[in-house]
């Protein structure tokens, strides 16, 4: 996966409608091919040389992947080169693979939110729920120490879920999450929950679970 430029894609849900592209009319690309050929001929020396001024934030392999596109952008001028550098940095950040435990964290958050009724959830309260559940390992995630707010935010950012200042009431505006922001990640990356559990398989209440706070 690291030997090429990754294009972020998301798993299709049942409600997504997508158009299938089986083939394309060659005539559509005829003019484009001519323009590309002219560009290559006009800039063959610069393109053959490549480009050494690479963003230092990129790893060696990422620089190798992006060098051809950055060389093309440089031929188009400084403005396009800067745009290409910004695109490279953003792409590499967004396509960095989440840690293996992130899906488990997402699944545990879904369990916490299953009986949470507020529009927003403070990070501190969400972490308390994760730490206090004996069936989860987040209370001892860091070599015996609990998962931190920064680690939680980093895990969730891999799914496009960002922390924000949430207004719980006039006097309490902590950092936290909007509950609906999790729905898309739940649908795409977690297995579906059964619509109704048989009586013998009903999930017991978690021991020691604090009540939903009144903000």
Q: How confident is the model at residue 195 (pLDDT cuts 50, 70, 90)?
A: low
Q: How confident is the model at residue 210 (pLDDT cuts 50, 70, 90)?
A: very low
| pLDDT tens-digit map of 154-170 | 999 989 999 999 999 88
- Every domain of the chain and the residues it spans: 29-95, 99-190
pLDDT at position 134, please? 83
Q: How confident is the model at residue 206 (pLDDT cuts 50, 70, 90)?
A: very low
Backbone angles phi, psi at 20, to 5 degrees: -85, 130
Radius of gyration of the chain (CA): 24
Predicted model pTM: 0.53
Identify which has the larger pLDDT, 96 or 10. Answer: 10
| pLDDT tens-digit map of 12-67 | 788 888 777 666 677 878 888 999 999 999 999 989 887 678 888 888 888 999 99
Q: What is the fold of 99-190?
A: Arc Repressor Mutant, subunit A (1.10.10)
Q: How confident is the model at residue 10 (pLDDT cuts 50, 70, 90)?
A: confident
| pLDDT tens-digit map of 87-102 | 999 988 777 665 457 7
pLDDT at position 212, please? 53
pLDDT at position 209, please? 45
The average confidence (pLDDT) of the chain is: 84
pLDDT at position 155, please? 92
Identify which has the larger pLDDT, 56 or 183. Answer: 183
């Amino acid at each position: 996966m690291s030997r090429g430029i990754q294009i972020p894609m998301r798993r299709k849900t049942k409600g997504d409608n997508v158009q299938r592209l089986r083939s394309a009319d060659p005539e559509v690309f005829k003019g484009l091919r001519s323009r590309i050929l002219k560009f290559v001929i006009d800039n063959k020396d610069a393109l053959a040389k490549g480009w050494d001024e690479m963003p230092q934030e990129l790893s060696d392999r990422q620089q190798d992947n992006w060098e051809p596109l950055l060389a093309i952008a440089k031929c188009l001028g400084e403005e396009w080169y800067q745009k290409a550098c910004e695109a490279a940095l953003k792409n590499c950040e967004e396509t960095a693979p989440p840690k293996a435990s992130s899906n488990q964290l997402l699944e545990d958050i879904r369990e916490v939110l299953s009986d949470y009724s507020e529009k927003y959830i403070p990070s501190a309260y969400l972490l308390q729920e994760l730490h206090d559940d004996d069936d989860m390992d987040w209370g001892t995630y860091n070599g015996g120490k609990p998962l931190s707010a920064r680690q939680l935010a980093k895990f969730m950012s891999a799914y496009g879920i960002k922390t924000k200042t949430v207004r719980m009431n006039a006097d309490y505006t902590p950092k936290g999450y909007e509950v609906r922001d999790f729905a898309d990640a739940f649908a795409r990356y977690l297995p579906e929950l059964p619509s109704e559990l048989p009586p013998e398989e009903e999930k017991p209440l978690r021991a020691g679970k604090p009540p939903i706070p009144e903000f």
